Amino acid sequence: MEHVQVLIAGAGIAGISAAIWCRRLGLQAILIEQEPHIGGQLKTIKNTIWDFPPHLYANGLELLDELNQHQVLGELDIRLSERLISIDPVSHLVQTDKTLYQADYLIAATGVRANTLTVLEGASFVLAPWFSTTSQGELLAGRRVLVVGGGDRAVESAYNISPYAEHIWLAVRGDKLRARPEWVERLDTVPNVTVLYETEVTGYIEEDQLRTAVQLLESASEQCAGETALSDDQAAPSNDHAALSANAPSSHSGVSSLLPDPQATQTGVFLEIKGQQMPLFLPVDRVMPRIGIRGNSDVMEQLKQYGEGFIQSDEYQATSCGWIYAIGDLTNGSVYASLSLASGQAMKAVKHISLQLNK
């Protein structure tokens, strides 16, 4: 077991800033990071960063490069590929996948992750959560895109890609958009977006699977022609969705209701739309889930939380457990997620800790 004054978990901008402030205030600190590199979300920022003064960075990697050259960085105790796995709020024991720490203070800076659509797991046409619609929209030129979600990020994404994509469908679970009115108004001005309310994505099919399904269909119908007629169940392809949509009802807001066309091999998703008896097939080239983010707080269930796994903290970043502090996106949620706030909170947390230690 190793004793440490301040253990910092997560080496995004928040955790790195905290480690630098510990150095400045003379606190002994260890910074652990689950990945083999520092930076957290910085690696995923493709847009220009102009709101983290005084520099203007072309993207997050440029900022990370500069950070890696920071003179003090080499003097910090940074332990890569080490993951926080449990915290004992009473004994101050912190377990990682490498060792056990006795920490006077813990600063949690583990950030957030994007919510994913489990029904699309394994689909290769789903865009990564960090796909940037401002700087990478051109990659969707001529594509049919399904954006999933009804909040700011979903509506903003649909709007940003509208100059490039052939058509965009926005699948919204509720009966209205939750995005800010200004974004909804902007979306109303673009001709190639169809909003599908009360709609859920229930499955997908990719070209290869489709070919298999079609082959099965063909061999089943050939058999059918030569023998006595098969029952519907026997004739159906192994994929339930394909079987279902064979009998699907007529079109809905531009959504094809037909079985994926076996001649024009298609990739697409199945949608359940309120009021429609059968799932509908929507041929799309790309799917962009924009269904929010959640705090990386799985091992912090003992701390007070709000929303989707965000840690509640007070004006000094202290959590409901006095010796544990939370900084950065983990405590800010999506609305206030920013580099400047994350780095500012690091200063406040470390200063507060140093004042407690020097009492």
d(CA 13, CA 18) in angstroms, rounded, equals 9
Region near ligand FAD per CB under 6 A, out of 257-265, 271-279, 317-325, 336-344: 336-344
CB of 44 or CB of 256, closer to ligand FAD: 44
Contact 75, 289 (CB under 8 A): no
Alpha-carbon span 92 to 102, nearest angstrom: 6
Is 139 near ligand FAD (CB under 6 A)? no
CB–CB of 14/41 below 8 Å?
no
- What track of x and - describes contact with ligand FAD for positions 64 through 83 (by CB under 6 A)? -------------------x
* Smaller CB separation from ligand FAD, 47 or 194: 47
Q: Which is nearer to ligand FAD, 19 or 248 (CB)?
A: 19
Phi-psi region of 40 (alpha: psi -120 to 50; beta: other; left: phi over 0): left
Please name the residues in contact with 23: beta carbons below 8 A apart, sequence gap of 6 or more.
Answer: 29, 72, 75, 76
Q: Which is nearer to ligand FAD, 11 or 170 (CB)?
A: 11
Q: For residue 134, give the DSSP letter.
A: T
Question: Running DSSP on this structure, what letter comes out for residue 57?
Answer: B
How far apart (Å, rounded) are the C-alpha atoms in residues 66 and 46? 16
Of the candidates 66, 115, 89, the one whose C-alpha atom is nearest the C-alpha of residue 296 is 115
For residue 223, CA distances in Å to 234, 235, 340 come to 11, 9, 67
Region of residue 116 (left: phi > 0; alpha: psi -120 to 50; beta: else) = beta
- Which position among 6, 196, 242, 342 is part of the footprint of ligand FAD (CB under 6 A)? 342
Nearer to ligand FAD, 86 or 253 (CB): 86
- Please identify which residue in 4, 7, 8, 10 interacts with ligand FAD, judged by CB under 6 A: 10
Q: Identify the residue among 162, 199, 239, 296 touching ligand FAD (CB under 6 A).
A: 296
How many residues touch ligand FAD (CB under 6 A)? 37
Least distance from ligand FAD to the Cβ atom of residue 7, Å: 10
Distance between CA atoms of 26 and 194, rounded to whole angstroms? 57
Beta bridge partners of 7: 30, 106
Q: How far is the CB of 293 from ligand FAD (least distance, A)?
A: 8
**DSSP reduced 3-state for 224:** helix
Binding string to ligand FAD for residues 87 to 126, with x set by CB under 6 A, is what?
Answer: ----------------------xxxx--------------
Rule CB under 6 A: say whether 150 interacts with ligand FAD: no
Could you tell me which stretch among 18-26, 63-71, 249-257, 337-345 binds ligand FAD (CB under 6 A)? 337-345
Angle at 117 between CA 113 and CA 118, to 5 degrees: 105
Place of tokens 């960085």: 73
The reply on whether position 52 binds ligand FAD by CB under 6 A is: yes
Helix (H, G, I), strand (E, B) or coil at 341: helix
Q: Is 351 exposed, middle or buried (0-12, 13-18, 19+ CB in 10 A)?
A: middle
Please pick, from the candidates 7, 20, 84, 288, the single residue that binds ligand FAD as defined by CB under 6 A. Answer: 84
The residue (of 106 and 195) whose beta carbon lies closer to ligand FAD is 106
Quick one: which segment of 164-172, 186-194, 228-236, 324-332 binds ligand FAD (CB under 6 A)? 324-332
Per CB under 6 A, does 187 bind ligand FAD? Answer: no
Q: Any contact of residue 328 with ligand FAD (CB under 6 A)?
A: yes
Interface with ligand FAD by CB under 6 A: which range of 34-42, 69-77, 227-235, 266-274? 34-42
Binding site for ligand FAD (CB under 6 A): 9-15, 32-35, 40-42, 44-45, 47, 49, 51-52, 83-84, 109-112, 130, 132, 296, 328-330, 337-340, 342
